[in-house]
A and B are shown apart, each in its own frame.
Chain A
């Protein structure tokens, strides 16, 4: 038992060293909020606490719910969303632009996608119709 404890302590120390986003293993990792397996690299999201613990999400709506609910008092080093136009590539959630469009079906039914910035979101809106939001506005919208 003692050895095990030492081992897990060392493991924890190493794991906690680096505060950085983690790679999502699509098809294997489960969403921290809704438990669904993360498969679609167009909608994933991630939170990394300032202590380096990473939480992965299958949809932006799950990340925002989790952020506003479970982690409302937790300091985050990274808040990341995938850029819809570059599947698998994370962008900073605060700088990103958001679009809710009937024509884009996100994993949790909110039809929500994210873009590198507000202009890119506006551009996507021309193609897909719907409404665009900033980080503050989308948090308000989902609250």
Chain B
């Protein structure tokens, strides 16, 4: 049996994608020429490749879902898909994959959407180089850009997601790779994990979201080489960690976030070789976290480097560079001879009474911070970095 190519255009035998799908068999290619196709509820139940030539437009006319894939090895490539229907009770998507393997969804442009790409019980597939632009500025009933529910071994790479609820959302999904994506202006989070394990997050940029990455109720995660910036607002964070076990957060850059990392109930987390630059707080640890390592990071010009609740719980701060460090290095080994205490008394006051922030950078605060440094009373006296670096650490990003 040979596979054939079915061509769809205005003057072709097949004038709609649906009619070509009806005629197609497993293994066929459907080539869609430039044009506007007003079609919704396109059901793909055969293993076919649907390829757009010159970015043809599929206009769903707000009638509901646009493309639903229910077969293995389906490819959708090169379309501009718009006008997904909006509903309170049904989560309509531009493209949905249900119970399928081996899919590739790439080079799509999605606009006027509710949910963008919705994967449910789908695995071993790829979501590559799509541009998803929502309109969720004040509209909070918007959906997620890429939504994954019970999905494993999916590669999400090179996507650009803007103005949606969560840029990329994973629930009960494991062993996925999220790489080289960019999310901007998500109403909630740039990337959001719920009950999802063994996922890798690399080389992404998260900018101006409610939070860059929310890691919640998950374990064994790797977050490295990401840039997380300008997540600014009352409930805004670079990374939000809630009940996470065994995660590695390495080689990331946190720039200009209200709080770069906020952590609660998370154990055995390694924070290493990160740059925290000009954040309100670099790290806020809210307690119930054990055996974490905060090592070899650069803390540069943050209003506060650290806010810390509760006892030490075997958490280790060691070998970091703190731009506020004023110690000396007489033996010239690059490590300060005086331990550094990253918690300022003022941060303790601000935690108890947020309005006190108005006193930041006043002489009075400098004096109480200094007196606390000389004889710590309020801040945990064993919270010290014994080996503060004298110079900013040049991270080896390839390691």
The segment from B43-51, B92-100, B232-240, B309-317 found at the interface with A is B232-240
Closest to B166 in A: A39
A36, CB-defined interface residue at 8 Å: yes
Contact A28 B233 (CB under 8 A): yes
* Interface SS majority for chain A: loop
B216, CB-defined interface residue at 8 Å: yes
Contact B187 A27 (CB under 8 A): yes
Partner of B355, one of A8, A36, A42, A104: A8
We find that the number of chain B residues with CB closer than 8 angstroms to chain A is 29
Contact B165 A105 (CB under 8 A): no
Contact B188 A36 (CB under 8 A): yes
Say which size band chain A's interface belongs to. 20 to 34
With the chains together, A4 CA to B210 CA distance in Å? 30
B242: A residues at CB distance < 8 A:
34-35
Contact A105 B149 (CB under 8 A): yes
Contact B140 A40 (CB under 8 A): yes
Contact A39 B188 (CB under 8 A): yes
Among B140, B214, B355, find the residue whose CB has the most chain A CB atoms closer than 10 A. Answer: B140
B37, CB-defined interface residue at 8 Å: no
* Interface SS majority for chain B: loop
The number of inter-chain residue pairs (CB within 8 angstroms) is: 53
B172: A residues at CB distance < 8 A:
109
* Chain A window 23-65, contacts with chain B (Cβ cutoff 8 Å), 1 for yes, 0 for no: 0001111100011110111100000000000000000000000
Among B233, B234, B235, B264, find the residue whose CB has the most chain A CB atoms closer than 10 A. Answer: B235
B210: A residues at CB distance < 8 A:
27, 37
Contact A29 B355 (CB under 8 A): no
B14: A residues at CB distance < 8 A:
none
Closest to B187 in A: A27
B89, CB-defined interface residue at 8 Å: yes
Contact A7:B140 (CB < 8 A) given known A27-B188, A36-B188, A42-B88: no
How distant is A11 from chain B, measured CB to nearest CB, in Å?
Answer: 8
With the chains together, A4 CA to B356 CA distance in Å? 8
Interface residues of chain B, those whose CB is within 8 Å of chain A, are 88-89, 91, 138, 140-141, 149, 165, 171-172, 187-189, 194-195, 210-211, 214, 216, 233-235, 240, 242, 262, 264, 353, 355-356
Interface residues of chain A, those whose CB is within 8 Å of chain B, are 4, 7-8, 11, 26-30, 34-37, 39-42, 87, 104-105, 108-109, 128
> What are 6 A-B residue pairs whose CB atoms fall within 8 Å in the complex?
A35-B240, A36-B216, A39-B165, A39-B187, A41-B140, A104-B89
